């Protein structure tokens, strides 16, 4: 209610009356205004409604009744009390006034007390009426507001976000929705007694500061992620949007809270996936790199040593290819577990991909710590892995590099460790190597070589040389092996050992191999239609050529293009490439075999040599690896392998060829043991096309077999002393034997390979090898020979040992009885006595080896 003085409008056409009434009212504190006509009165009331009107009835123009009825018919003015002031005393005039809406009458001349009374009463009545209206109004407003609030609450409760209104003045919640209560596990009542500081890690002071900043920033919203505490003590990850809104003299902070627990968990899962290997759960390359970055930065401050270890499982691909990917995966999981157990908690283990793992080791002292871990890992691999129904052992090759010695750059450290790991592989696997500057130089050289090889393909710098293969029984050329050469500008003819591995590792071998096949087919066609005639050419095919490209279609097209009988082309594959991807390789080989192409296994004996496996492939020939041929005449182990391969090939009806034959002795040994073909420098080095064309025109390349012209009883005498050789050959000269003399054990082995020898007489004391050692090997290589040793007294112990193990069948110590020696040699040639056996002692100081002689 207003406290101003009530206003009273006096309407009368006579100025004197207006003045009189004004004068009468003023002492009571009323504020008066006046109008001289009905029209003037309506205009004044429209401009500013008074609290009461004193209205004269009789006025020129619009009279009092008209004014009253207009005012009462207008809701805006209907409640202004009107007192009609009239000189009429008749009842009709008063009734007319009441009809027109006047509340009361005053009769002129107006009595002051009556005027005050009537005015005061009517003003009180009006005030009461106004109050009623005001209350009703207020009630309507309250109802409307309540409805609004209910709608607002319903809307708030219906939202998925939690909404909380905070009074800046009290810092308490003034309103919260249902979602907020559910999210935070409080009732609405509980929450209304709380503030944000009860839910998050922030004090009221800090929040006040924050809200003031929000208020000062106008309507700018503030968004942040945080954790909120629930009533049960758990926390929820939320995203909070805050907005300040004026609320009377206060500010309301509208806080909208979204539960982002699931989003965060999904994000965390994604982040974990992006940084961890899904099979082993170990950090992947990205995370490993980041960890290394952090570790190196830390080590720079603390001065610690950091070792990066690159670990690659040896022959893992074979496990995958032969036992399947499920077994391979299980092996990786078990391996990663063992790896984790080898390091300390502060170290990092990562899987960089495939079978490549890496470690970050923080060490305080020397690089010895890395050696300890490397050995630990190798030891951890000793125990076999049990993988489904398989049990297998595996080794690893490890490369190690150090910060700060080698580099401080994480990428470089990983690269160096990788390089060192390759060195470990080249060193024979199951070992570790530290990175050296030389390795880096090698890597750079390798990159240079790779680039040059790409250019070589573009510039067509490759040529083929051909190396003959010869039939051992006929001595005729059996075929040729096409061997790749790189005519590198500025370097001359580069042999394949210097670049084939790079071609294979980079995949360039597919393109180059295809060129080799096309070139070989073209050359076979040219020879076919030349005086050389048909000649079989073998081509080396790499494992990758089976996996990539269209090998069989290319070969069949190549043969057709040059009109070549398919049998003139032979493919040489290593056992290893045969084993890789067996299904596909076997399919391709079967198609080519059906077409008539010949298949040979190269380097046989160095790989699996598993017959069961080999039988799955349509093979025509086995090529014995050069490693077994080098010492086939003097190393019983190699000889045993060669003989086993020859016998295996024969039982499987496969041809067998020996590669790397360099001596007549090797040739003869192989021929004597029924090897079919040989290839090697003894016959010819690989030749350029023009020279090999001439070679092909020769009929017999080898000449007759050595022992075909050297039959009969043969005695081999070995002594490094030429005088003794002469004495002994003279001694036996008249006994009718063919006598062969060798000045060393090596010569002796060659003689044995080249000749059919029955009895061997060997000096015990030779510089390169003792007689007993020599005869021990001869026993393995030529068990049917009769082996006699001649010696001084000094080394009797080793002779006795040799006798006991059967290497020596007779021995004679100086001075021996020549006649007795001749008699016993003659006996040794006889079919009965010549059997490898132990006989009674012979000779002046001779001791037999039967029964065995105690070593003492």
Interaction site with ligand LFPHGCPZ (CB under 6 A): 467, 481, 483-484, 495-497, 500, 509, 513, 516, 540, 542, 572, 602-603, 626, 659-662, 679-681, 686
Nearest to 659 by CA among 604, 712, 702: 604
For residue 686, the minimal CB distance to ligand LFPHGCPZ (Å) is: 5
For residue 502, the minimal CB distance to ligand LFPHGCPZ (Å) is: 12
Longest dimension (CA), the chain: 196
> What are the residue ranges of helices labelled H in 357-497?
368-380, 410-426, 437-458
Cα atoms found within 13 Å of the Cα of residue 324, Cβ hemisphere only? 6
For residue 765, the minimal CB distance to ligand LFPHGCPZ (Å) is: 33
Placement of tokens 């504020």 in the chain: 31
Q: Say which residues have a Cβ less than 8 Å from residue 621's Cβ, sequence separation at least 6.
A: 570, 598, 599, 600, 601, 649, 654, 655, 656, 657
Question: Are residues 790 and 825 in contact, defined by beta-carbon separation less than 8 angstroms?
Answer: no
Nearer to ligand LFPHGCPZ, 280 or 542 (CB): 542
Nearer to ligand LFPHGCPZ, 71 or 569 (CB): 569
Cα atoms found within 13 Å of the Cα of residue 849, Cβ hemisphere only? 24
Report which DSSP code applies to 28.
G
Question: Are residues 424 and 432 in contact, defined by beta-carbon separation less than 8 angstroms?
Answer: yes
For residue 504, the minimal CB distance to ligand LFPHGCPZ (Å) is: 7
For residue 600, the minimal CB distance to ligand LFPHGCPZ (Å) is: 9
Q: How far apart are CA 713 and CA 829, in angstroms?
A: 7
Nearer to ligand LFPHGCPZ, 166 or 477 (CB): 477
For residue 494, the minimal CB distance to ligand LFPHGCPZ (Å) is: 10
Nearer to ligand LFPHGCPZ, 463 or 557 (CB): 463
For residue 412, the minimal CB distance to ligand LFPHGCPZ (Å) is: 33
Q: Which two tokens stand for residue 93?
A: 């005039």
Question: Are residues 244 and 211 in contact, defined by beta-carbon separation less than 8 angstroms?
Answer: yes
Nearer to ligand LFPHGCPZ, 38 or 686 (CB): 686
Nearer to ligand LFPHGCPZ, 684 or 764 (CB): 684
Q: Which two tokens stand for residue 714?
A: 């043969």
Q: Say which residues have a Cβ less than 8 Å from residue 542's Cβ, sequence separation at least 6.
A: 500, 503, 504, 509, 510, 513, 577
For residue 484, the minimal CB distance to ligand LFPHGCPZ (Å) is: 4
Cα atoms found within 13 Å of the Cα of residue 81, Cβ hemisphere only? 22
Q: Say which residues have a Cβ less than 8 Å from residue 29's Cβ, sequence separation at least 6.
A: 5
Nearer to ligand LFPHGCPZ, 425 or 826 (CB): 425
Q: Say which residues have a Cβ less than 8 Å from residue 508's Cβ, sequence separation at least 6.
A: 453, 454, 457, 502
For residue 480, the minimal CB distance to ligand LFPHGCPZ (Å) is: 11
- Residue of closest CB approach to ligand LFPHGCPZ: 680
For residue 482, the minimal CB distance to ligand LFPHGCPZ (Å) is: 6
Nearer to ligand LFPHGCPZ, 396 or 667 (CB): 667
Rg of the chain, C-alpha, whole Å: 58
Nearer to ligand LFPHGCPZ, 510 or 825 (CB): 510
DSSP string, 194-220: --GGGTSS--HHHHHHHHHHHHHTTT-
Q: Say which residues have a Cβ less than 8 Å from residue 519's Cβ, sequence separation at least 6.
A: 464, 482
Q: Which two tokens stand for residue 846?
A: 């001779």
Nearer to ligand LFPHGCPZ, 397 or 600 (CB): 600
For residue 659, the minimal CB distance to ligand LFPHGCPZ (Å) is: 5
Nearer to ligand LFPHGCPZ, 543 or 748 (CB): 543
Nearer to ligand LFPHGCPZ, 541 or 751 (CB): 541
For residue 579, the minimal CB distance to ligand LFPHGCPZ (Å) is: 16
Nearest to 821 by CA among 792, 793, 845: 845
């Amino acid at each position: 209610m207003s406290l101003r003085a009530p206003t009273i409008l006096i309407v009368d056409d006579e100025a004197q009356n207006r003045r009189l009434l004004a004068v009468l009212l003023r002492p009571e504190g009323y504020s008066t205004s006046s109008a001289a006509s009905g029209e003037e009165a309506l205009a004044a009331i429209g401009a500013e409604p008074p609290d009461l009107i004193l209205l004269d009835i009789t006025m020129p123009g619009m009279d009092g009744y008209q004014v009253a009825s207009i005012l009462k018919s207008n809701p805006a003015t209907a409640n202004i009390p009107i007192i009609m002031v009239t000189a009429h005393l008749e009842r009709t005039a008063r009734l007319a006034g009441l009809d027109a809406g006047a509340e009361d009458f005053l009769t002129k001349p107006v009595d002051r007390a009556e005027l005050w009374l009537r005015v005061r009463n009517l003003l009180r009545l009006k005030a009461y009426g106004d109050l009623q209206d005001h209350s009703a109004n207020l009630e309507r407003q309250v109802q409307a507001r309540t409805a609004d609030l209910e709608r607002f609450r319903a809307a708030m409760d219906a939202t998925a976000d939690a909404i909380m209104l905070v009074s800046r003045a009290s810092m308490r919640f003034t309103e919260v929705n249902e979602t907020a209560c559910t999210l935070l596990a409080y009732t609405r009542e509980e929450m209304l007694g709380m503030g944000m500081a009860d839910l998050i890690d922030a004090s009221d002071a800090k929040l006040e500061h924050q809200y003031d900043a929000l208020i000062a920033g106008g309507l700018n919203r503030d968004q942040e992620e945080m954790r909120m505490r629930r009533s049960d003590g758990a926390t929820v990850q939320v995203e909070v949007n805050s907005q300040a809104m004026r609320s009377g003299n206060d500010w309301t902070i509208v806080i909208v809270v979204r539960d982002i627990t699931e989003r965060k968990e999904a994000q965390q899962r994604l982040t974990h996936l992006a940084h961890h290997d899904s099979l082993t759960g170990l950090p992947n390359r990205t995370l490993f790199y980041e960890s290394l970055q952090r570790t190196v930065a830390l080590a720079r401050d603390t001065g610690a040593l950091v070792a990066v270890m690159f670990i690659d499982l040896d022959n893992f691909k074979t496990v995958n290819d032969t036992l399947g990917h499920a077994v391979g995966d299980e092996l990786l999981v078990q391996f990663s577990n063992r790896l984790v157990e080898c390091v300390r908690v502060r170290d990092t283990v990562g899987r960089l991909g495939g079978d490549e793992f890496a470690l970050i080791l923080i060490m305080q002292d020397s690089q010895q710590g890395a050696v300890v871990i490397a050995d630990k890992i190798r030891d951890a691999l000793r125990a076999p892995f049990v993988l489904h129904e398989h049990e297998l052992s595996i080794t690893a090759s490890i490369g190690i590099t150090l910060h700060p010695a080698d580099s401080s750059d994480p990428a470089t450290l990983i690269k160096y460790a990788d390089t060192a790991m390759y060195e470990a592989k080249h060193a024979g696997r199951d070992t570790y190597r530290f990175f050296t500057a030389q390795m880096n130089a090698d890597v750079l050289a390798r990159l240079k070589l790779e680039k040059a090889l790409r250019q070589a393909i573009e510039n067509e710098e490759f040529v083929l040389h051909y190396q003959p293969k010869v039939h051992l029984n006929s001595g005729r050329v059996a075929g040729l092996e096409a061997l790749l050469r790189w005519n590198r500008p500025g370097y001359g003819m580069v042999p394949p050992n210097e670049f084939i591995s790079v071609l294979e590792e980079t995949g360039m071998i597919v393109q180059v191999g295809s060129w080799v096949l096309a070139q070989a087919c073209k050359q076979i066609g040219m020879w076919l239609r030349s005086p050389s005639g048909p000649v079989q050419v073998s081509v080396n095919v790499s494992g990758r050529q089976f996996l990539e490209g269209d090998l069989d279609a290319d070969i069949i097209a190549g043969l057709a293009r040059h009109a070549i009988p398919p049998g003139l082309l032979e493919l040489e594959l290593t056992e290893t490439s045969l084993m890789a991807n067996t299904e596909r390789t076997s399919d391709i080989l079967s198609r080519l075999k059906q077409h008539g192409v010949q298949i040979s296994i190269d380097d046989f004996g160095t790989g699996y040599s598993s017959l069961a496996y080999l039988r799955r492939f349509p093979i025509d020939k086995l090529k014995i690896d050069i490693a077994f041929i080098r010492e086939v005449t003097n190393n019983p182990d190699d000889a045993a392998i060669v003989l086993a391969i020859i016998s295996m090939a024969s039982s499987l009806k496969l041809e067998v060829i020996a590669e790397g034959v360099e001596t007549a002795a090797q040739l003869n040994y192989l021929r004597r043991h029924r090897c079919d073909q040989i290839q090697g420098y003894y016959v010819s080095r690989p030749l350029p096309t023009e020279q090999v064309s001439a070679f092909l025109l020769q009929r017999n390349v080898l000449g007759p077999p050595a022992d075909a012209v050297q039959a009969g009883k043969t005695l081999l005498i070995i002594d490094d002393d030429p005088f003794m050789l002469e004495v002994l050959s003279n001694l036996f000269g008249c006994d009718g034997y063919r006598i062969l003399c060798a000045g060393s054990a090596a010569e002796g082995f060659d003689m044995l390979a080249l000749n059919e020898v029955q009895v061997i007489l060997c000096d015990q004391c030779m510089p390169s090898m003792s007689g007993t050692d020599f005869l021990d090997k001869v026993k393995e290589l030529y068990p049917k020979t009769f082996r006699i040793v001649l010696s001084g007294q000094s080394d009797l112990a080793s002779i006795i040992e040799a006798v006991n193990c059967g290497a020596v069948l007779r021995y004679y110590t100086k001075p021996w009885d020549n006649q007795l020696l001749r008699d016993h040699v003659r006996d040794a040639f006889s079919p009965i006595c010549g059997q490898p056996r132990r006989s009674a002692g012979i000779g002046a100081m001779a001791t037999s080896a039967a029964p065995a002689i105690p070593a003492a």
